[in-house]
Chains A and B, each alone.
Chain A
Amino acid sequence: MNEKGLTIVEMIIGMTISVIILMISTSMMVNIFYKDTKSKQSEILSQVKNDLQSEITVGVRWAETLSFSDNELVVDNSIYRLNDGVIEKNGEAITPSSVYIEEFEIDDFSTTLQQKSLRVNIAMRHRDFSSVSDSLEVVVSQRKMEIEEQ
């Protein structure tokens, strides 16, 4: 009978090892989940950045008319505007509410009047994880859509 039981020393050693393993594994899990969450938010920002880059560069490149002012870019009939941390296109949000757009700046980089070149600078962060941020800076030029040869 004596051989079937555990001594108190064995139990203490067993519990200590269990606690240590639990603490290490919990810490690792928390770390993994934190990093996972952060990477998810970064991915969202990265996707928003890519979407905005595609949308704006394709639009500007083939635009017939272009104009811009503070926080606003007008490409033909489409008006892109920064409103309360969200970029809207003709009044409809094109960035998710989880992403806060901090800056939507446009500068004129044109060297000719015929084709405009714009530098678009967009800074963004996650609304709930302010440490997760990203930015997009792109220079895009209108294409020459009419060419005359003599």
Chain B
Amino acid sequence: MINKGAVTLIYMALVTLISVLILTVGYSRFMLSLRRSEAFADTIETSYRAESEINNLLAQLVGGYLTEANFPISESMAFGDTRVEIEARIEDNSQIIDVTASRFFAVNKIRAVRVAYGSGFFNDAEIIIALDCTGSMGNSSGSSEGTSRLQEQTKAVLGFIDNLAVSDYAGNVRMGVAVFGRNSNWLRSVSGQQVRPDAGMTVAEVRQAVYSGFTYPSGSGNLARSRSQSICDELVEDYTNIGAGFNIMNNYFENNPPPSGNAKRVEILISDGEPNTYIRESVCLNRPTCVPCSGNSFPLDYLKCTLADQNTEWTGGRTGMRNPLVDSYVVTVLHNPPAAVVSAIQTYSTEYYNAIYAYQLSEILDRIFESISTSFARTTISRIIPISEE
């Protein structure tokens, strides 16, 4: 009688043990699956939270609600289970903002570095001006003084250089002057030196080169009225190939590193005519492959492809040749500006001005100088965690 029920008890114990084991395995798997899903959800949540916070801070900075006076910043906050830490500091002329969003299973850290230029932060700059050297520049400027367009162009450029010379930035700017007609070339100084930004010329030396090249007789104090009286005749052929003017500047910026990582690079082109010619060397680098353009619309197409930046499509599937970090200012002197030319320049340049009369050029170049020297900022956003794989 004592042994009665022993087998039943053993059986029951075994069944219970096996059931517990099965339940444990099932529960473990369930928990593991749950944790994996949580980890995935946490990755998404932290990623978006960090991005959202950094964008919020940048919007406040740009809008002026957050200023350098508020730096350094060290804050932490919680959104539910998401913890967000903000660390912001100033190093040299850079505002560095780190946002770290963390949850149980994921961490995301994003850094924004905002570098301010101008207003005392104007580090280095490279400016190239391309001058129109075509025959039509000998026409009247419309001024009551009876000057020619070429004379007004020279006055405007000398004024621009004078503004630069007396500014705080004179020592930080490398300047170049190019000329264009059917082809393009660098202006030369009296000694024959090309006026390129990397030529090591001071602002005063660049001014002297412009002065001697565009006075008649050279250095006389009388501004040259026409291309034949100026250095233009020696440097380029007649007729208007505006793309050639952009091309010489593009080539320089593409093949020469900037003087520093934060250098501002600017090209300015002045022209009084519609593009009406091109040369064999006028090739649109239709990135990523190089295909020569042709056809009647080519002079205008060449203008578009040399002015558009490398991130902008100027025609189906083809992007421009200008480095997107180079700002392009274009000035035309057109009494009745043709719509196609205006549309192309407005679309692809950084800023576009049209002077109805050439005597307005000085005022326009003054505005460009102001625009260039006004403060601006560049922000770079990067992911710190998760670490990028190289």
Which residues of chain A have a CB within 8 Å of any CB of chain B? Answer: 36, 40, 43, 46-47, 50, 53-54, 58, 61-62, 76-78, 113-114, 143-150
A36-B383 Cα distance, complex, nearest whole Å: 40
Q: Chain A at the B interface: mostly helix, strand, loop or mixed?
A: mixed
Question: What A residues does B376 contact at CB under 8 A?
Answer: 148-150
Supposing A58-B386, A114-B311, A149-B62 touch, asked if A50 and B37 sit within 8 A by C-beta, the answer is yes
For residue B4, CB closer than 8 A to chain A, the reply is no
Closest beta carbon of chain A to B383's beta carbon, Å? 4
- Asked whether, in the complex, the Cβ of B388 is within 8 Å of the Cβ of A62, the reply is yes
Interface flags for B23-67 (1: CB within 8 Å of A; 0: not) read: 000100100010011001001000100010000001000100000
For residue B319, CB closer than 8 A to chain A, the reply is yes
Supposing A53-B40, A113-B311 touch, asked if A150 and B378 sit within 8 A by C-beta, the answer is no
Closest beta carbon of chain A to B244's beta carbon, Å? 25
Partner of B33 from A43, A77, A147 at Cβ < 8 Å: A43
For residue B374, CB closer than 8 A to chain A, the reply is yes
A29-B217 Cα distance, complex, nearest whole Å: 107
- Asked whether, in the complex, the Cβ of B40 is within 8 Å of the Cβ of A148, the reply is no
Which residue of A has the minimal Cβ distance to B33? A43
For residue B91, CB closer than 8 A to chain A, the reply is no
A150-B390 Cα distance, complex, nearest whole Å: 33
How many residues on the B side are at the interface (Cβ–Cβ under 8 A)?
A: 29
- Asked whether, in the complex, the Cβ of B40 is within 8 Å of the Cβ of A150, the reply is no
Supposing A62-B382, A146-B379 touch, asked if A54 and B40 sit within 8 A by C-beta, the answer is yes
Question: What B residues does A61 contact at CB under 8 A?
Answer: 47, 383
29 sample A-B contacts, Cβ–Cβ < 8 Å, listed by A number = A43-B29, A43-B33, A50-B36, A50-B40, A53-B40, A54-B40, A54-B43, A61-B383, A62-B382, A62-B388, A76-B388, A77-B390, A78-B389, A114-B311, A143-B51, A143-B381, A144-B381, A145-B380, A145-B382, A146-B378, A146-B379, A146-B380, A146-B381, A147-B58, A147-B378, A147-B379, A148-B377, A149-B378, A149-B379
> Which residues 359-380 in B have Cβ within 8 Å of A in the complex?
371, 374, 376-380
For residue B233, CB closer than 8 A to chain A, the reply is no
For residue B198, CB closer than 8 A to chain A, the reply is no
Closest beta carbon of chain B to A58's beta carbon, Å? 6
Question: What A residues does B389 contact at CB under 8 A?
Answer: 76-78
* Most chain A beta-carbon neighbours within 10 Å: one of B37, B319, B377, B389: B389
For residue B238, CB closer than 8 A to chain A, the reply is no
Closest beta carbon of chain B to A40's beta carbon, Å? 7
For residue B87, CB closer than 8 A to chain A, the reply is no
Q: A58-B386, A149-B376 are in contact. List 19 more A-B contacts (CB 8 A).
A: A43-B29, A46-B37, A54-B40, A62-B388, A76-B388, A77-B389, A77-B390, A113-B313, A144-B381, A145-B381, A146-B379, A146-B381, A147-B58, A147-B378, A148-B378, A149-B62, A149-B378, A149-B379, A150-B376
